[in-house]
Structure formats: C-alpha cells, structure tokens
Amino acid sequence: MRWKSTALVLIFAAALAGCNDTLESATYDSPKVSNKIQQPLPARLVAEIQKKGMSRNAPIMLRIFKEEGVLEVWKAKTNNRFDKVVEYDICAWSGRLGPKVKEGDRQAPEGFYPLTPYHLNPNSKYFLAINTGFPNRFDQANGRNGSNLMIHGACSSSGCYSMTDAQILEIYAFARDAFKGGQQSIQLQAFPFRMTAENMARHRHSQHYDFWKTLKVGYDNFEVTKRPPDVNVCEKKYVFNQLTADGKGFNAQAACPPMSTPPALEMALASYNKEYDRNYAKALNKFDGKIWYDPSEAERKALVADLRKSRSHDLAFAPTGSALAAGKLLDIDDANPTAVASATSAPAAINQLTAKPPAAGATTTAVATVAGTVQTAAPVAIAPSAPTAAPAGIASASAAPIAPVTPAAPSAAPAQTTATAQAGQSVVPVPQPNPQMAETTVAEAPVKKKPFWKLW
C-alpha cells in the first residue's frame, strides 16, 4: 500500500506542476531513451490532450514569442479550432528583436513558416532539430538570406531557437504525431512579442515597427479565429486569409490580385480592432515620452550567468535570458542625451540606443510582466512627446495590397485542411533542402566556413 500512496502523491504533484516547462525546472541532460525519433509523448501531455478533447494525432501549430523567450504548442480540437497544450521557455536565442536579414547576422527568424515532414532532422548534432524553413517566400522576395535556421536541442544558438534536449524531444514528438495523423504542413508563427496594444505602443519607436505591423495582421487573424491563417505573399508583403477571384494565385514579387474577405471574419476583426484601438490609445498615454531599450544578447546572457556556471563542464551550453527582463523603459530625453540629440527621429534614437547601452545613471523604469502585459513603476514627470502614427494592430489584409502604415479592411480565414495519412506510417523522412528555396534563387555573398554550432 505504501508504494501505491507514494505513486499517487507523485502523480498529484506532476498534475500541479502543469504543462509549462521553465528554465528553472528544465532538465539539461540528454534524455535516456532507446529511440528518440519514436519516443512517445509523456503521460502528462497525453493527459492534457485528452482533457481538452483532442486526438493525439490532431494537427498542431507552433508559436514563438522572442521577447518572453517562449515556444507554444497549439493543437486542433474536434471543431478544428486550436487550443494551447503546452509552452516551453526557449533555452537560447541569439541576436535582438527583429527579423533575420542575411547569413551571419545571428538573428533568429520572425514571420510565418510552413513546416513539412522533410523539415524534421532526426540526425541532428543537436539531439533533434526542426528546420524553420527560412527563408520563406516573403524573405526571398525581400532579399533576405540564410541557412540552417533551426529549432533544436543543446541550448546553444547562432540564429536558431534552441531548446533543451528534453524539450525538443517533446516538440519533435508533437510534430511527428501530427504528420502521422495526416497534417501536411505545420505553421510556425515567430513573433518578436505578443502583439497586444500595450506591447505595440511600447515598441513603436523600433526600426522594425512597420514590419511588425504586417505580422500583427496574421496574429490578429489567429486570435479571432483560433485557426492558423492562410498565408500568402504578394507585392513582397504578407497577406492573410484572402480569397481571390477566379482562383488566381499569389506571386510574391507581383501585384496582389483582386481579393476579398468573408463578411463574418470581417465583422469579427472589426470588433477586435475596435477594442484594440481603445487599448492602444491608453498605452500611448502610458508610454508618452518613453522609449524601450532592447537589450543585447550579452545583456540577456548576464541574467543567466549563474545557470551557465552551474554547467561549466558543458562548453556548448549557452542559455540566454529574457529580453523583457533585461530591457529597460527609458525617458526618451534623458536616456542618452548625446545619441537622442544627434538623431533626427525616434527610430534613429532607438537605433543609437541599441548600438550603445545607455550611460550609467540614466533614468530607467523597471518593467515586469503580468498576464502578458507590461507594468511600469510609478509615473515620472516628463515632457510630452509628439503624437505617434495610428496603431498598427488595426491594419488587416484586404482587397487592396497591404501597406505598412495605411489601415485596410480585414481578411478571411478558410478552414485548415489536412490529408489522410497512410495506415501504419512510422518512418520519419530524412531532411531535404528547404522546399521553398526552389521558387526563388537568392544570390548570397560568400561566407566564411561556419563554426560548428551553425551546422545541423
């Protein structure tokens, strides 16, 4: 009876722990499994899937938020709407907030990436890996280039999203099971942060703000429908959930064809954006005269220096801390007077601030997160700043091409389709070159031989 009681206590403790894996609770040693490629999901995740009324092989979606350092796994319910099953703290990601532009810039991708079975790499040098598919059609159309950008194990990154081996074992199993269930393409959504009104207002001075506004249209579509949006590219811009006349296709480099949005989705997005506008106006007042300092990779690593020292025997172990925790909300006039004075605009000022950390003694405001929002300390008396542009969140894909600044009508969300898998499918294909690369060839400048951590 004693062992039964002990077992019940352990099961109860595991249930209380939930399905979220943090860096503090993570296991960093490689799991001892006989077959990592076919390792089933652990009992706690199977129970969570069953509790939410999902099939084990139902389609999934992956969502990443850089600033928080979080990777979420969402799974389809029987009504084809998705619900979050688990989230993981990303052990390491390199660079700063903002998209990857070129090979060697150490930036991790941001955008919407379709993952197929051939993006799975069971033979990775970093335990297991999933190729992000960078560059996608949008990246190629905009001249962005890079290779071997992964979600992998080993907790070491140079442009990748690196997890612990135990985490990637589970993420890989989610993808494998979804492909076995017939899902043809898993959508990876990689965002700089949760694209709430408050976060958009906090980052409004960033040089990447116009690009982030286009990502927010896709973010909004998912928040409204809880279905991965149908993603296309035309005029070098993302468009989401758009239906074309006469079945015309999309060309990433060409003009957008005539497009339309189903009325039901248009109404839902209009209601969503109405609430967003109210919240954005409040956030502008809250952050008036403020500018967000996006920390460097070195500053994020400093937050987890003790963790790194605890595994000094593992030379490849290189965790990075949260950009939200390492960042600072500064008075725009006092943050770095020399840099701000020489800058011709707020984005130019933030560029100078990110190029050189603020001087010692600069006025700062501590930032904490509560339920995904940013909380600032007591207000500081500051001079009012000039009003900013209209909120980004109200822009949606429409019949007119997406413009980074001009608000447009919302977009349509057709249901996600899946294919039926062959019975007994169990073989994981060997990874092939990114299928998206066949569409457009991007000329790349010669690069030096990659260090070992850039390889699969």
Active-site residue numbers?
A: 152, 160
List the end-to-end C-alpha distance of the chain, in Å, as a whole number: 49
214, two tokens: 């286009």
Q: What is the H or E stretch that residue 301 is in?
A: helix 297-303
Q: Strand 20-21 relative to strand 82-89: parallel, antiparallel, unpaired?
A: parallel
Tally of CB atoms within 10 A around 100: 23
Residue 38 neighbours by CB under 8 Å, 6+ apart: 176, 426
User: Residue 149, SS3?
Assistant: coil
Q: How far is Cα 284 from Cα 281, in angstroms, rounded to an integer?
A: 5
Q: Is the dihedral of CA 44, 47, 49, 52 positive or negative?
A: negative
Instruction: Name the packing angle between helices 263-286 and 209-225 (round to 10°).
Output: 130
Q: Per residue in 29-52, is it b (16+ CB within 10 Å) or e — as a string?
A: eebeeeebbebebeebbeebbeee
Q: CB under 8 Å, gap of 24 or more: what pairs does 407-410 form?
A: 409/261, 409/266, 410/220, 410/221, 410/261, 410/265, 410/266, 410/268, 410/269, 410/270, 410/273
Q: What DSSP state is assigned to residue 119?
A: G
> How far is Cα 138 from Cα 439, in angstroms, rounded to an integer?
11
